Structure 1
Amino acid sequence: MGDWSALGRLLDKVQAYSTAGGKVWLSVLFIFRILVLGTAVESAWGDEQSAFKCNTQQPGCENVCYDKSFPISHVRFWVLQIIFVSTPTLLYLAHVFYLLRIEQKINRKEEGLKTIQNDGGDSLISLQKNMPW
């Protein structure tokens, strides 16, 4: 499936710099709002236009009249609100993920240098023993 440890490291890093209010904010935003959007909103405002009646029988009139009466759907408004509210959080998560990747690269380079130093030190000692001076 995927690397769940990467998600765990990301959330640990984010939680390390979050306040109590920030932790509650994330919970409310991602659990409550998206849960409500996924379950209740569609059943409440699922097919808004089906009961709408236009006063003329002209083709396309229902769509035009409905759009004029209700310029934005409630479901679309909720989705738009979640996008706008969660964008700063998602940008912060992307930044933390970027920092984690840099940290992993630095750790790999340090481990490589340590192994080179360990191997190089042993070969340097053996070279010094074989030198005539």
Structure 2
Amino acid sequence: MVIGAGAEKVWGDEQSKMVCNTKQPGCTNVCYDQAFPISHIRFWTMQIIFVSTPTLMYLGHVMHIIHKEKKLRKYLQNQANGQGVKQPKYTNEKGKVEIKGDLLASYLTSVIFKILLEAAFIVGQYYLYGFVMIPKIVCTRYPCPYTVECFMSRPTEKTVFIIFMLIVSCVSLLLNIIEMFYLICRRSRRHNKLTLNS
């Protein structure tokens, strides 16, 4: 939502408003490509898609389990005694999902993948662009006739937006790390409780 609302307006002119001190055809394009191998907007869109994918896969797994256990509950209701038949493992009588066992493991896996992807995109952004929009780009690529200087439009505004997106990514990363430790602690507490009871 933030990308659609604000970033498009800030970065919509990044190539068209970049001014270089040469009129050589194609020079501005290659200088832009040197400075921005991938547009910030596209990079952040890819980040959102990649970081959301583990959650979507986990939700698909949950939906599959819920569907299987609903079928199992219907089967158990139709059976007279239900003895010797596998009981639903992840849903209670009301159909509420309990995160434990394989479901907890797949959720923890999705959180770990989100942490890795979020960290990879933060590092990737640093290596591709840095965290500050430099107003002047020096370019020596062909077809530029000599060392060309190009100037970005609104570099301060773009820097503010880059820092905002970096903060959002870091907060997301931190929350995922906290959630991972919470899940691991909860799982070990439950395991210790079961060990003491048996």
TM-score w.r.t. the length of structure 2 is: 0.35
The structure in which a higher percent of residues are helix is: 1
